[in-house]
Amino acid sequence: MVASTRTRRLVNDERGEISSAVILTPIVMLTFMLCVQGAMVFHARTLIQTAAQDAARATQVETGTTADGQAAAARWVQDGGLLRDVNVTVTRGATQVNVTVTSGVQSLVPFWTPTVTATVQGPVEVFRPQSERS
């Protein structure tokens, strides 16, 4: 009779342990997913910035065109699924090059669709003969 009373007490005392696990497991999983999502956004930002810089360099050279910039950016943004809806805008004026790359990032967290943007500007390279240089 004493053993059965002890067994009932142990069973009754363990009831609260399951409820804490049920509450904590989703919180821990969401925290983990947020950390991974943050790393994905950081990596996407790095890819987008590199694509914009390469596009600007390709467009800045004396014989560079906006198509060269578009092609240079396209080489970086084809990474295998991390980036969504990539938009590359390259403009080349007489003295200035502007490149803007915008992309969505694949989301692990429900109801959140992060977007990253990088803008790079620089001068157009122009050949000047020795007599025009100061």
Per the model's pLDDT, the better-predicted residue between 109 and 124 turns out to be 124
Domain containing residue 36: 2-132
SS3 56: helix
Q: Where are the beta strands (DSSP E) in 1-130?
A: 83-92, 96-105, 115-123
pLDDT at 56 exceeding the cut of 90: yes
* pLDDT (average), residues 56-62: 94
pLDDT at 127 exceeding the cut of 90: no
Length of the chain: 134
Token couple for 61: 């050279």
Least confident of 17-31, 87-101, 117-131: 17-31
Per the model's pLDDT, the better-predicted residue between 91 and 112 turns out to be 91
How confident is the model at residue 11, as a pLDDT? 57
Least confident of 64-68, 107-111, 121-125: 107-111
Handedness of CA 63, 68, 72, 75 (dihedral sign): negative
How confident is the model at residue 8, as a pLDDT? 58
The CATH number covering residue 88 comes to 3.30.1300.10
pLDDT at 2 exceeding the cut of 80: no
- Write down the pTM of the prediction: 0.77
Domain tally, the chain: 1
* Residue 47, amino acid: L
